[in-house]
Amino acid sequence: MTEHFTVRNTIWDELKVGDEASVQRTATAQDFFLFAHVTGNINPANLPGNEEAPPLAPSMWIGSLISAVLGNRLPGPGTLYRVQNLTFHERVHLGDTLTAFVRCTEKREKPRAVFETRVTKGDGVLVASGIAEVEVPLKVIEADTRQLPELILDEHDHFGQLVTCAAHLPPMPTVVVSPDDRNSLGGAVLSAMKGLIVPILVGERAAIENAAVELGVDISGYRLVEVEGHHAAAATAVALVNAGEARAIMKGNIHSDELLGQIVKKDGGLRGARRISHTFVMDVPTLDHLLFISDAAINIAPDLMTKVDIVQNAIDLAIACGITQPRVGVLSAVETVNVNIPSTLDAAILSKMAERGQIIGGIVDGPLAMDNAIDMEAARTKGITSLVAGKAEILVVPNLEAGNMLAKELTFVARAEAAGLVLGAKVPVMLTSRADNDRARLASAALAQLYDYWQRTGSAYMPATSLTSAAK
C-alpha cells in the first residue's frame, strides 16, 4: 500500500519576509511528452526522437516548477497566482537536474505577497529567474500528497522496429485473397510500398479495380489473377503457393473460415506437420517487450496435444522475432493444479513436456493466472518461484474465447496494438481483420517476413536485443 502524507500551508499571518523553499526535479522524456499533450505544443525542438538535435526542455515547463514550489511548499496549498515574470538564461537538456527556489521578499496588502523565484541546474548555473506575486491563503489547509492517477505513455514502438527490420529483407511474393474492398487492398498496397511484399492479387477483377479507384491507387504494376467468387480465390491462392509462386498468404475481403478451409484440406492444402494455430502479437504500452497470445482465432477448445502445437508455434514465431528463449506462461484461472479445472492439468503437463524436450526453444511454466504471469509483484505476493512468472512473453490461453477476449481487451481497453499470423501451415498466413488499421496490417506483413526467414534459415533475422528486452 502506498503511504500517504499531508502537507500544511503557511498562512498570511505566519508568512515572514525571508522565508524560502525549493523543490528538485530531473528532466525526463516523459515530462516533455506530457507537456506536449497537456499544452498542445508539439515543437520538435522539445520532443525526444528529433534526429536533428537532442530535445530541450520547454521553457514554460521549467517555469512550472516554480509554480510547484509555491503551490506545494511555500506558501503551499491554497496559494493563487497574481503575477509571474521570468527571464530564461540557459537551456535545459534531457537528464538535467533542476532546483526551483522561491523566497518571500515583500508582504503587500493582505493577502498578497511577492517572491523572488529562480531555477538552477545541478551545477548551480542559473536557468531562469523572475518575480512572483501571489495571494497567500488565510486559512490553514492540509493537503494529502497521495499519488495522482497513473498515466500510461507508450514509449516503445515495437511494431515500428518489426517493420524496419523486415524491410531489409527482399520483398516476399504474397498472394492477397479477394482484396476487393478499400481496407484489404489498402493494406496490401501499403505493405508493398514499404518493401515487405510483392502482392499477387487474386479475385474478381472488376471489384478489385473498383476498390483501387476508391482508394486512389495504381495497381497496374501488380499481378492480378482473375477468378470468380471467394471460394475460387482461396483455392487459387493455395495452388499458387503449392506451385512455388508465393511464399505467404494475406487475407483480403474473405471470411476466415472460407480461406482456412482451403489451407487445411487434406488434398492440395497447405498442412504442415503440426496443427495450425493463430498467434496475436501485441504491442502493449505498459510492456517493454512484445506480447504473444495464442490461440485466439482458430482452435476453439484445444485438447492437450493441440496445445502442444499451439505452444511450439508461438515459440517459433517469438524466436523469429528475435527473442532468444521465449518465456511461455500457460494461463488458467488459478496458479495451482486443480483437478476440477482441466486447463490447470494441461498447463502442468505442458510445463513438464518442455522440461523433457518435447517442446523446444522456450521456457514453459503453468498453470499461471494472468496477474502473476505478467506482473512480478503479483508473483512475489503469491510466493511463486518460476523463471516465467511475472516475465511471460508468450501467453497460452485455455481456449479461443479466453484468448479472443484477452486480445481485444488489451486492444480496446489498454490501447495495445495487435497484429497476428497463422502458423503451422507450409507458409505464414496473415489473417487480418476488417477492423485492423494500416499499422496492424504492416506489422502482420513484417511478422510473415521474419517468420518466413526463420523457416528457411532456422535463425532469427535480427538479434534479440534489437526488438525486445529478451530473457536475461
- For residues 109 and 33, give the distance between their C-alpha atoms in angstroms, rounded to a whole number: 40
In a domain, 333, yes or no: no
User: What mean pLDDT, rounded, does the chain reach?
Assistant: 91
Q: Is the pLDDT of residue 469 over 60?
A: no
- For residues 188 and 95, give the distance between their C-alpha atoms in angstroms, rounded to a whole number: 42
At 168 the pLDDT is 92
Instruction: Judge if 64 and 10 occupy the same domain.
Output: yes
In a domain, 310, yes or no: yes
- For residues 8 and 29, give the distance between their C-alpha atoms in angstroms, rounded to a whole number: 31
Residues 23-39: pLDDT tens digits? Answer: 999 999 889 989 998 99
Instruction: Judge if 92 and 10 occupy the same domain.
Output: yes
pLDDT band of 72, cuts 50, 70, 90: very high
Instruction: Judge if 213 and 308 occupy the same domain.
Output: yes
Which range has the worst mean pLDDT, 120-129, 176-185, 202-211, 432-441? 432-441
Task: Assess contact for 287 and 263: CB atoms under 8 A.
Answer: no
Instruction: Judge if 173 and 27 occupy the same domain.
Output: no
Residues of the domain holding 115? 6-144
- How far CA 64 is from CA of 24, 250, 430, in Å, comes to 12, 51, 49
In a domain, 357, yes or no: no
At 432 the pLDDT is 79
| Domain-terminating residue out of 85, 110, 144 | 144
| Single-letter amino acid, residue 242 | N
Instruction: Judge if 135 and 168 occupy the same domain.
Output: no
At 466 the pLDDT is 46
pTM summary value = 0.74
Instruction: Judge if 181 and 117 occupy the same domain.
Output: no
Q: Compute the average pLDDT of residues 142-153.
A: 68
**How many structural domains does the chain have?**
2
Q: Mapping DSSP to helix (H, G, I), strand (E, B) and coil, where does residue 295 land?
A: coil
CATH of the domain at 460: 3.40.718.10
pLDDT band of 150, cuts 50, 70, 90: low
Q: Is the pLDDT of residue 159 over 70?
A: yes
Instruction: Judge if 135 and 199 occupy the same domain.
Output: no
At 437 the pLDDT is 74
- For residues 470 and 34, give the distance between their C-alpha atoms in angstroms, rounded to a whole number: 28
Task: Assess contact for 388 and 379: CB atoms under 8 A.
Answer: no
At 470 the pLDDT is 39
Task: Assess contact for 307 and 332: CB atoms under 8 A.
Answer: no
At 275 the pLDDT is 95
In a domain, 336, yes or no: no
In a domain, 413, yes or no: yes
Q: Compute the average pLDDT of residues 96-125.
A: 96
Instruction: Judge if 296 and 437 occupy the same domain.
Output: yes
CATH of the domain at 89: 3.10.129.10
More confident residue, 44 or 248: 248
The grid coordinates listed for 160 are: 515500428
How crowded is residue 149: how many other Cβ atoms within 10 Å of its Cβ? 5
Most confident option among 160-169, 323-332, 434-443, 457-466: 323-332
Task: Assess contact for 252 and 179: CB atoms under 8 A.
Answer: yes
Phi and psi angles of residue 422, each rounded to the nearest 5 degrees, phi first: -90, 130
In a domain, 374, yes or no: no
In a domain, 370, yes or no: no
Residues 372-412: pLDDT tens digits? Answer: 999 999 999 999 989 999 999 999 999 999 999 999 999 88
Instruction: Judge if 231 and 109 occupy the same domain.
Output: no
pLDDT band of 51, cuts 50, 70, 90: low
- For residues 190 and 443, give the distance between their C-alpha atoms in angstroms, rounded to a whole number: 11
Task: Assess contact for 167 and 159: CB atoms under 8 A.
Answer: no
- How far CA 425 is from CA of 278, 419, 429, in Å, comes to 11, 18, 8
Who contacts 263 (Cβ-Cβ below 8 Å, separation ≥6)? 234, 238, 249, 269, 270, 271, 276, 422, 425, 429
- How far CA 53 is from CA of 46, 50, 59, 93, in Å, comes to 10, 6, 17, 11
- For residues 103 and 115, give the distance between their C-alpha atoms in angstroms, rounded to a whole number: 5
Residue 302 burial (10 A CB sphere; 0-12, 13-18, 19+): buried
Which range has the worst mean pLDDT, 135-149, 201-215, 353-367? 135-149
Instruction: Judge if 66 and 162 occupy the same domain.
Output: no
Instruction: Judge if 169 and 208 occupy the same domain.
Output: yes
Q: Which long-range contacts (CB under 8 A, 24 or more apart) does 218-227 make?
A: 219/185, 219/189, 222/192, 223/199, 224/200, 225/200, 225/201, 227/202, 227/203
Who contacts 78 (Cβ-Cβ below 8 Å, separation ≥6)? 9, 137, 139, 141
Most confident option among 159-163, 245-249, 441-445: 245-249
DSSP character string of 272-283: -SS--EEEEEEE
| Domain-terminating residue out of 144, 171, 191 | 144
Of 343, 387, 344, 384, nearest to 362 by C-alpha is 387
The grid coordinates listed for 167 are: 524491410
In a domain, 322, yes or no: yes
Residues 260-289: pLDDT tens digits? Answer: 999 999 889 999 899 999 999 999 988 889
At 3 the pLDDT is 45
At 295 the pLDDT is 95
Instruction: Judge if 116 and 168 occupy the same domain.
Output: no
Q: Mapping DSSP to helix (H, G, I), strand (E, B) and coil, where does residue 201 land?
A: strand
97-107 β-sheet, strand order:
20-26, 97-107, 112-121, 126-135, 80-88
| Single-letter amino acid, residue 305 | M
At 253 the pLDDT is 92
Let me know how long the chain is: 472
Residues 314-370: pLDDT tens digits? Answer: 999 999 999 999 999 999 999 999 999 999 999 999 999 999 999 999 999 999 999
Percent of the chain past pLDDT 70, that is, above it, reads 93
